[in-house]
Amino acid sequence: MKIYILSSGKYGKRIVNNLATTLSSQMIGIHEVEEDLPEFIEDLTPYIPENLPESDLVIAVGLKGDINLIVLEVARKTGAKSVIISINDHTNLPPGLRKEIEEDALDINVVFAKPFCSLKPTGDQYIDEFTQNFGKPELEIEFDQLTGNQDEEIGAELIKKVTVKRDAPCGCTAFVSQELEGVPVTEAEFIAAEKFHNYPCLASMAKDPELNDAILHVAGYQIREAVKKALSFTCKSAVVDEECCMGEDGCEHLCLGVCPQVNAGNGTIIIQADGKAYIDPASCGSCQLCIRECPYGCIEIVEEKMDLEKKSIKII
């Protein structure tokens, strides 16, 4: 796979540097876009790189405003049919501009990753090849089993080894994984969230209208989810009281609209066949927005160890 990258600013440099640790032989070109360009540009021609190499995948990171419109032209000139545009700040690529790109894409498959670490396989050959290494974090965690008597404290196991199966494009997952060794397993998801902020994440802290939360927060939910799935349990999640939930008897499922994880494309809240909501504890970020929105008070935060067993759910 041949990858061409359009990068801008500190955020772009961090992404490029981390991708190069694994994909340097596949990165056939990098174009650094000026950071202080005007938001609105009438003539984009001078900003399109010359002598572009043939590529399969074009990735744009850190671009702001109208300069994002050159991405498709670069893809066409390189022959790429697959494009990833990372969004770390909603003001860099507002919905109207994104729609313009989507309408102009035609035979080019464009994926907008907001945040970049929420990127999952899409069915596109080259994007999926990219996500074998980078995108939504995935970990494998080994921990020491208790060998003492049955009265020993549950959760006293310590993390022995963390293997990164898929890193966040910025490298945060690799950083956090190093900080988790020796940590009690029941504290791992919370320490991961803390270390995520220490990295630090460069995504915007401003509320994104589409996500209903800051992109930075949603990025943090991804690393917590990776830890929880690797351990097969969580110690904190929003939980729906199914006896209280009105379901098909009048519930408007307001929880769906306010959940940042749902808005980011994750199936965190599922509406079952009877209309009752179910919250996936693995991907729940414990933001509590659904709790505030539920008019019947049927959702609460539960802080206890919950196994992530697959629940048999009939979906509408």
Taking residues 98-127, what's their average pLDDT?
96
Nearest to 5 by CA among 65, 52, 64: 52
Taking residues 37-46, what's their average pLDDT?
92
237-307: CATH topology is: Alpha-Beta Plaits (3.30.70)
Could you give the CA distance from residue 9 to residue 13 in angstroms, rounded to a whole number?
6
Kindly state the tokens that stand for 155: 């959760």
Give the tens place of pLDDT for each residue, 50-108.
999 999 999 999 999 999 999 999 999 999 999 999 999 999 999 999 999 999 999 99
| Strand pairing category for 3-7 and 27-32 | parallel
DSSP bridge pairs for 153:
none
Residue ranges of the chain assigned to CATH 3.30.70.20 = 237-307
pLDDT for the residue 313: 53
Residue ranges of the chain assigned to CATH 3.40.50 = 3-130
Could you give the CA distance from residue 155 to residue 52 in angstroms, rounded to a whole number?
54
pTM: 0.91
Domain boundaries 3-130, corresponding CATH code: 3.40.50
- Order of strands across the sheet that contains 57-61: 27-32, 3-7, 57-61, 82-86, 109-113
Q: Which residues contact 252 (CB under 8 A, 6 or more apart)?
A: none
Taking residues 218-237, what's their average pLDDT?
96
Question: Helices 95-105 and 70-78 meet at what angle, rounded to 10?
Answer: 30
Nearest to 116 by CA among 264, 6, 225: 264
Kindly write down the DSSP assignment for every residue of 266-303, as one continuous string. ---EEEBTTS-EEE-TTT-----HHHHH-TT--EEEE-
Give the tens place of pLDDT for each residue, 143-189.
886 554 444 555 569 999 999 999 999 999 999 999 999 999 999 99
Could you give the CA distance from residue 308 to residue 150 in angstroms, rounded to a whole number?
23
Nearest to 200 by CA among 223, 218, 175, 182: 175
Taking residues 42-49, what's their average pLDDT?
94
Give the tens place of pLDDT for each residue, 191-226.
999 999 999 899 999 999 999 999 999 999 999 999
User: Is the per-residue pLDDT at 310 higher than 70?
Assistant: no
Q: Which residues contact 154 (CB under 8 A, 6 or more apart)?
A: 186, 305
pLDDT for the residue 119: 97
Residue 63: what are its φ and ψ, rounded to 5°?
A: -75, 145
User: Is the per-residue pLDDT at 308 higher than 60?
Assistant: yes
Could you give the CA distance from residue 242 to residue 108 in angstroms, rounded to a whole number?
44
Give the tens place of pLDDT for each residue, 251-269.
888 999 999 999 999 999 9
